[in-house]
Structure 1
Amino acid sequence: MEQTYSVASNPVYYEEQSLHVLFAGESQTPPLHQVGPKIYDYFLLHCIETGAGAFRTEQRTYELGPGDCFLIQPGQLVSYVSDLAQPWKYRWAAFSGTDAGRLVREAGFSPEQPVAACGDRSVIPEALAGIMKTFYAGRESGHLTSLGLLYLTLGEASEMLKDHSRLPGKDSQVKRTVKQMIHYMSSQYAHPISIEQMCKGLGYNRAYLSRIFKEDTGLSPVTYLLKLRIDKSRQLLRERPELSVEQVAASVGLTDALYFSRQFKRFCGQSPTAYRAVTARQQDH
């Protein structure tokens, strides 16, 4: 098997960047090819395409194969060596920045959990190859492209690194699903979404989602979404006096201003116009 090695660096570098991909590369290693023991001053993520090898930290050794990823953290003493019979081919990307540590923690990586088994259908090798190709092109826009591909990479890795230990089994899944629903509504309330669309997007039956959501929050998804929209509209009525009631309604995803006014009075006990007048007088005093 012929040994290969290539690497491409980001043509743009910014001081004090919140997140920055430094370089990306690929290599078909020879048998028993070893790197380290050594430390790095940046994050370095590897993804194995073919073959096998071992990744060693100060705590333990991981035997890895195709689809496995391992993340080296700054200041961590590590070494890694390819297999004798089936030396690995891998891709990698190095990144740094003030937000890098938070990002890898959100993905689920830690010094105690540096490995993610993403499988042979993973898009990570393609994403890392995309970073390398982008850097070879030498365009300044490659900096932004590389960040998108890095987020894609860590996003997929996080699917394999989710911590299910806080809640056992079914309860854990229910809590995560309810959180997904709340996040969906909180980010999409300004659009004319429906609960049916949300259920379809999350891949669950509406009756099931409605039941677990009400058990967890005390409100049905329909009521929760409507209350969220009314709460947002109250803020707009207070802070944006130049907006009409129709514009406020549209801004919270309710295109029927009459329906909005009825629901606003149902939750707040007064019309949007009256609410705005009262809050304006209070602010004047």
Structure 2
Amino acid sequence: MNQDHSYFSVHINPLHSTNELSVLFSGEGKPIPLHKMGPAVHDYYLIHTVHAGEGTFEMHNRSYRCSAGDTFVIYPGELFSYIADSQHPWHYTWVAFSGRAAGTLLSQIGVSPNQAVISGSNPRSIRHYYRHIRSSFQQSDTPVLEDMESAAWLRLLIRELGRMNSHQITFTPTTETDIERQVGQAIRYLELQYTQPVSIEELAHNLGYHRTYLCKMFKQSTGLAPMQYLLKVRMERAKQLLETSMTIDQVAASVGFNDALYFSKQFRKWSGSAPSVYRKEQKV
């Protein structure tokens, strides 16, 4: 038993990971009255969620009084300290993590060194995510899978904290018109689904627009009909693939053509060269 806690448990990730987001360790504790950490700095991110009791957290020249439902975030390189209340010391869970995506994810939910506390969460529901993070580390024969699982639960925890902190999340105002937004949705659909059979009717149905209206707005904004734009996407991707060692049949299938001869005909019509000729020209 940790002498500074009436209860203390920690689970450590057995894998030294360099992924974009990786849990280092996670634990739960009930410190004794006036138990203090810091002033100190860490080289990783550390989230604490308070389930009961009270305490004080300080970082970036700010002091926060935290109680049940509050979550505080320690940033790497930031001087911090925290202390349990003398009468009602807090009970909290924590997770330490690192990775190049960590700061971005926290920023996206409205957390920063200047605003490092999220208030008003549901301790019971939040505790569920911490429990799953800790249970990921069972010292199995596949630590890489444990690392993946714990990172997935960490993302869900951060997502849940973001819901609690939605009033702090800022969105960049957009000046695009309704038509621009609608056409943008159609363009994104075509750019993501170009490997699949696509029809105007299917496109309009999936986006919830009338076929005639969608075609009119699309051509007005892009200068191309939707199917012309789809062909352009497919042919530009085909040009990239023709610079690899893939066969013509493989390139055709990769850009949504089941018939390699039909693909070759369309490519020649679009580029002025047959796929095989285009490939040779790129090697000159």
1:90 aligns with 2:95: no
More deviation, 218-227/46-55: 218-227
Aligned partner (choices 6, 11, 19) of residue 9 of structure 2: 6
TM value normalised by structure 2:
0.66
Paired residue for 2:236? 231
Paired residue for 2:146? 142
Paired residue for 1:283? 282
Per-residue CA deviation, residues 222-259 of structure 1 (Å, 9 max, x unaligned), is: 55555433321232234345231xx4343234557688
Root-mean-square deviation over aligned CA pairs: 4.8
Aligned partner (choices 122, 125, 128) of residue 126 of structure 1: 128
Name the CA distance, whole Å, in 2 between partners of 1:69 and 1:176: 37
Q: How does 1:1-285 map to 2 (within 5 A)?
A: 3-13=6-16, 19-29=21-31, 34-50=36-52, 53-64=55-66, 68-81=70-83, 88-97=90-99, 100-101=102-103, 104=106, 109-116=111-118, 119-120=121-122, 124-135=126-137, 137-139=138-140, 140=143, 141-157=145-161, 160=166, 162-164=169-171, 166-167=172-173, 186=191, 189-191=194-196, 195=203, 199=207, 205-206=208-209, 218=222, 222=226, 227-244=232-249, 247-255=250-258, 268=270, 270=272, 274-285=273-284
**% of aligned pairs identical?**
34
Segments of 5+ residues of structure 1 without an aligned counterpart are 200-204
TM value normalised by structure 1:
0.65
Segments of 5+ residues of structure 2 without an aligned counterpart are none
Name the CA distance, whole Å, in 1 between partners of 2:125 and 2:257: 38
Name the CA distance, whole Å, in 2 between partners of 1:86 and 1:253: 64
**Equivalent pair of 1:72/1:78 in contact (CA under 8 Å):** yes
How far off is 1:44 after superposition? 0.7
Distance 1:284 1:94, change over 3 A: closer
The SS at the match of 2:242 is: helix
**Equivalent pair of 2:50/2:123 in contact (CA under 8 Å):** no
Name the CA distance, whole Å, in 1 between partners of 2:81 and 2:179: 40
Count, aligned residues: 266
More deviation, 256-265/49-58: 256-265
Per-residue CA deviation, residues 35-72 of structure 1 (Å, 9 max, x unaligned), is: 33332222112234455554321232345555543321
Distance 1:13 1:236, change over 3 A: closer
Structure (1 or 2) with the larger CA radius of gyration: 2
**Equivalent pair of 2:51/2:68 in contact (CA under 8 Å):** yes
Name the CA distance, whole Å, in 2 between partners of 1:31 and 1:180: 56
How far off is 1:26 after superposition? 1.5
